[in-house]
Amino acid sequence: MPASYPKSTPTELLGLLVLLNAHKGSEDVALLADDLDLEIDEILPSLDNAELLGLVKVADGRAAFTDLGRRFASASIRERKEILREQLKRTSLFKTLLRALENAPGHFLTDEQLASIVSFIPGPTEQAAQGIINWGRYAELFRYDSEERRLVAVRPSVGAKGGGGSARPPPPPSSSRPPRAASPRGSASADRAEPPATATA
């Protein structure tokens, strides 16, 4: 499929899918726009994104859930994120981005490196980059360090299959001295930021 960046925010997409579900999973696009008090062209980015992710099919001016879309509509918040994460990973754009993160030294990409990756996508590079950051954070594909201005890969836990947390460092070597009470100062995970649950528009 041609490379495309998400032109709607996660919140906009979810709002559209909730409304479509209220219409029993199938409705005229014009009526959906009217219910949202929007023009048709204002909901097209969300529809395009929902179609790209395999959640909705649009034909003859009518939007309808796919089987995956129906499963998404009835899923929990965590399950919805899992579905979005897997669907995003299937797109050529996020495949390329995640591969770059995996191969990058330190497993992070600066804003400049991200801009270079998305420069081939038609449209404003800055807008494309922001859309990618919003969706990647929401689906917990990576996190964004706003101070360092870079994407950081979410690493699986050591020994875990398919885990989404950061890798924990190995325990220190054992000592022949008697164990001492653990100090409350410092934690192995104190400096690891968890991926945000929501994305900003």
Task: Write the pLDDT tens digit of every residue in 113-149.
Answer: 998 888 877 766 788 888 899 999 999 999 999 999 9
Per-residue pLDDT tens over the stretch 149-188: 999 998 654 343 444 444 444 444 444 444 444 444 443 3
Q: What is the pTM of this model?
A: 0.71
**Could you name the CATH architecture of 10-73?**
Orthogonal Bundle (1.10)
| DSSP notation for 109-134 | EEHHHHHHHHTTSSS-HHHHHHHHHH
Sequence spans of domains, the chain: 10-73, 77-153
- Separation CA 9–CA 194 (nearest Å): 20
Q: Is 45 helix (H, G, I), strand (E, B) or coil?
A: helix
DSSP assignment of 47-111 equals HHHHHHTTSEEEETTEEEE-HHHHHHHTS-HHHHHHHHHHHHHHSHHHHHHHHHHHHSGGGEEEH
The sign of the dihedral angle between the CA atoms of 37, 8, 165, 189 is: negative
